[in-house]
Amino acid sequence: MFCLLRVGQGAVYYTCHLVPLYIPAAAGLADWSDTYGGEQRVGVVHAAGNGYRTRSHFDAQDLMESGLGAKTGQSDGWLNRALATMQPAAGDRRLGIAVGGAVPLVLRGKVAVASWEPPGLKQGAPEFIQILSRLYASDQLLGPALADGLRTQNMSSAVLGEDMAKGPQGFGPKSFQPLAAAAGKLLAAADGPRIAALEMGGWDTHVGQGSVAGRLAQNLDGLGQGLQALAAGLGPAWQQTVVVAVTEFGRTVAVNGSGGTDHGTASVVLVMGGAVRGGRLRGDWSGLDRLEENRDLRVATDARSVLKGVLRDHLGIDAATLDRKVFPDAPGAKPMDGLVRA
């Protein structure tokens, strides 16, 4: 089982480069190190990035999610391309699911995936749904789409229960926990998906970022609580789970005049979960003595090496397929070894 967590709108963990993670608000993350049998289940890859040089959220997110090093107009994501190597063995069952909002680029592509978010509209009456089903039964496009949607809704309602299925919406620190809890339960279901993508925004802290208190601390707390809820929702399946937290770019090393940080270059990739060999820093440290453009941490590790290592050792996708189909323009990024327990 694999769960991708995308941290949007700027990096969150740039502070890991400078100080140990003793921030009280990050206690939820620290708990992952010792809650499960006293074994370390968090790995940190510092000074990581895809090597692109853009300070645009839109370009940086597209590149991170497509898995490419340059904008080419490609409309699919690296996780969907990875699913393409696994989906044939699963038949009609959809192995991928996007939890919360629209399907992100990382999961878009030729392979059909499910999506779930707490409904924001009043539920349709059963009679209305039956009428729609009959109306679209012979339509080659809308008929199967409606049937797939109803199957997903029925499965999520059965797994989550009506109260949880109607939980809060949004992407902030308080709304992330129920989304993560739902993702855990959906992934743990015997006939549910096996790969999920979640996102949590609000990390673009140009102003009033704070340290042990403030916006950054609130987001760290929300992220930590969400990850704990994810693990609780997974239950025993936690032991076979890998969670990867990635972001589109880092933050500047120095605080700006508004008490925040601006768009930077390198950041941190977190690899977490019951199947992870954690408790260590990975990758090369590029140092603070020679910064990118005299403001940013330089990229020392291609984040795609981390993703390749997880996809190879956890999902069994061979290195040749990763180079040829999943990350076609990053053959030089070798899969990182030792991230996942044997």
Structure-model confidence comparison of residues 28 and 115, the more confident one: 115
- CA angle at residue 272 from 25 to 40, to 5 degrees? 85
Look at the block and give the residue holding tokens 């080659």: 140
Structure-model confidence comparison of residues 170 and 143, the more confident one: 143
DSSP string, 183-242: HHHHHHSTTS-SEEEEEE-----SS---SSSSHHHHHHHHHHHHHHHHHHHHGGGGGG-E
Residue 131 has pLDDT above 70, yes or no: no
At residue 141 the predicted structure's pLDDT band, cuts being 50, 70 and 90, is: low
133's CB contacts (< 8 A; 6+ apart) are 146, 147, 150
For 33-72, write each residue's pLDDT tens digit. Answer: 554 455 678 889 999 998 677 788 788 888 899 999 887 7
**Residues 209, 122: Cα–Cα separation, whole Å:** 37
* 299 three-class SS: coil
**Residues 342, 334: Cα–Cα separation, whole Å:** 19
Contact of 293 with 259, CB cutoff 8 Å: no
Contact of 285 with 312, CB cutoff 8 Å: no
> Which residue, 262, 202, 250, 216, is CA-closest to 8?
202
Contact of 217 with 23, CB cutoff 8 Å: yes
Residue 10 has pLDDT above 90, yes or no: no
> What pLDDT does 175 receive?
82
Contact of 82 with 34, CB cutoff 8 Å: no
**Pair of tokens at residue 229:** 């809820």
> Which residue, 155, 310, 153, 320, is CA-closest to 246?
310
For 248-280, write each residue's pLDDT tens digit. Answer: 888 899 999 999 999 899 999 999 999 999 888
Residue 126 has pLDDT above 90, yes or no: no
Average pLDDT in the 13-30 region? 48
